[in-house]
Amino acid sequence: MKITIFGTGYVGLVTGACLADSGHDVLCMDVDQGKIERLKNGQIPIYEPGLEPVVRHNTDAGRLQFTTDVAEAVAHGLLQFIAVGTPPDEDGSADLQYVLAVARSIGQHMDDYKVVVDKSTVPVGTADKVRDAIRLQLDHRGSELEFDVVSNPEFLKEGAAVNDFMKPDRIIVGTSSDRAEEVLREVYYPFNRNHDRMIFMDIRSAELTKYAANAMLATKISFMNEVANLAERLGADIEAVRRGIGSDPRIGYHFIYPGCGYGGSCFPKDVQALARTAYDCGYESKLLNAVEAVNYDQKHVLFDKVSHYFQGDLANRTVAVWGLSFKPNTDDMREAPARTLMESLWQAGAKVQAFDPEAMEETQRIYGNRDDLQLCGTKEQALRGADILVICTEWKEFRSPDFEAIAKALSEPVIIDGRNMYDPQMLDRYDLVYYAIGRGRNQ
Ligand code: NAD
29 lines ligand 1 (CB under 6 A): yes
173 lines ligand 1 (CB under 6 A): no
Q: Beta-carbon neighbour count of residue 300 at 10 Å?
A: 16
4 lines ligand 1 (CB under 6 A): no
Residue type, 292: E
Confirm or reject CATH 3.40.50.720 for domain 2-201, answering yes or no. yes
Q: Taking the domains of the chain in order of start, what are their residue ranges? A: 2-201, 202-443
Q: What string of pLDDT tens digits covers the 443 residues of the chain? A: 999 999 999 999 999 999 999 999 999 999 999 999 999 999 999 999 999 999 999 999 999 999 999 999 999 999 999 999 999 998 989 999 999 999 999 999 999 999 999 999 999 999 999 999 999 999 999 999 999 999 999 999 999 999 999 999 999 999 999 999 999 999 999 999 889 999 999 999 999 999 999 999 999 999 999 999 999 999 999 999 999 999 999 999 999 999 999 999 999 999 999 999 999 999 999 999 999 999 999 999 999 999 999 999 999 999 999 999 999 999 999 999 999 999 999 999 999 999 999 999 999 999 999 999 999 999 999 999 999 999 999 999 999 999 999 999 999 999 999 999 999 999 999 999 999 999 975 55
List, edge to edge, every strand of the sheet that includes 2-6: 64-67, 25-29, 2-6, 79-82, 114-118, 147-151, 171-174, 198-201
Relative to beta strand 147-151, strand 25-29 is unpaired
Ligand 1 atom closest to the CA of 10, numbered from 1: 26
Rounded to 10 degrees, the C-alpha dihedral 63/66/72/77 comes to 40
Quote the longest CA-to-CA distance of the chain. 78
Q: Using CA atoms, how far apart are residues 101 and 13, in angstroms rounded to an integer?
A: 19
Ligand 1 atom closest to the CA of 101, numbered from 1: 18
**Residue 133 confidence (pLDDT):** 98
Q: Using CA atoms, how far apart are residues 222 and 255, in angstroms rounded to an integer?
A: 11
**Residue 86 CB contacts under 8 Å (≥ 6 apart), including other chains:** 94, 95, 96, 98, 99, 120, 121, 122, 269, 273
Closest CA to ligand 1's atom 29: 120
Query: Separation of 263 CA from ligand 1 center, angstroms?
Result: 16
Ligand 1 atom closest to the CA of 98, numbered from 1: 15
30 lines ligand 1 (CB under 6 A): yes
Q: Which is the catalytic residue, given 18, 28, 260, 266?
A: 266
**Residue 441 confidence (pLDDT):** 56
**Residue 177 confidence (pLDDT):** 98
Question: DSSP H helical segments within 192-262, as ranges?
Answer: 203-234, 238-246
ipTM confidence score: 0.99
| DSSP H or E segment with residue 354 | strand 351-355
Query: Separation of 87 CA from ligand 1 center, angstroms?
Result: 9
Closest CA to ligand 1's atom 12: 7
∠ CA(421), CA(426), CA(430), 5° rounding?
A: 110
Cα 70–chain centre separation: 27
Q: Using CA atoms, how far apart are residues 303 and 301, in angstroms rounded to an integer?
A: 5
Which string of DSSP letters, residue by residue, matches 156-204? --TTSHHHHHHS-S-EEEE-S-HHHHHHHHHHHGGGSSSS--EEEE-HH
Query: Separation of 361 CA from ligand 1 center, angstroms?
Result: 20
Q: Using CA atoms, how far apart are residues 157 and 420, in angstroms rounded to an integer?
A: 22
> For 337-362, what is each residue's pLDDT tens digit?
999 999 999 999 999 999 999 999 99
| 192 burial via Cβ count (<10 Å: 0-12, 13-18, 19+) | middle
Query: Separation of 269 CA from ligand 1 center, angstroms?
Result: 13
Same topology for domains 2-201 and 202-443, yes or no? yes
Q: Using CA atoms, how far apart are residues 388 and 407, in angstroms rounded to an integer?
A: 9
> For 367-392, what is each residue's pLDDT tens digit?
999 999 999 999 999 999 999 999 99
Task: Please name which of 277, 218, 298 lies closest in space to residue 93, comparing C-alpha atoms.
Answer: 277
72 lines ligand 1 (CB under 6 A): no
83 lines ligand 1 (CB under 6 A): yes
Ligand 1 pocket test, candidate residues 164, 209, 265, most atoms within 8 A of CB: 265
Is residue 266 among the annotated active site residues?
Answer: yes
| Beta bridge pairs of residue 174 | 151, 201
Query: Separation of 154 CA from ligand 1 center, angstroms?
Result: 11
Query: Separation of 117 CA from ligand 1 center, angstroms?
Result: 14
The whole-model pTM stands at: 0.95
Residue type, 325: S
> For 33-49, what is each residue's pLDDT tens digit?
999 999 999 999 999 99
Which string of DSSP letters, residue by residue, matches 6-51? E--SHHHHHHHHHHHHTT-EEEEE-S-HHHHHHHHTT--SS--TTH
What is the architecture of the domain spanning 202-443?
Answer: 3-Layer(aba) Sandwich (3.40)
Q: Using CA atoms, how far apart are residues 116 and 282, in angstroms rounded to an integer?
A: 30
273 lines ligand 1 (CB under 6 A): no
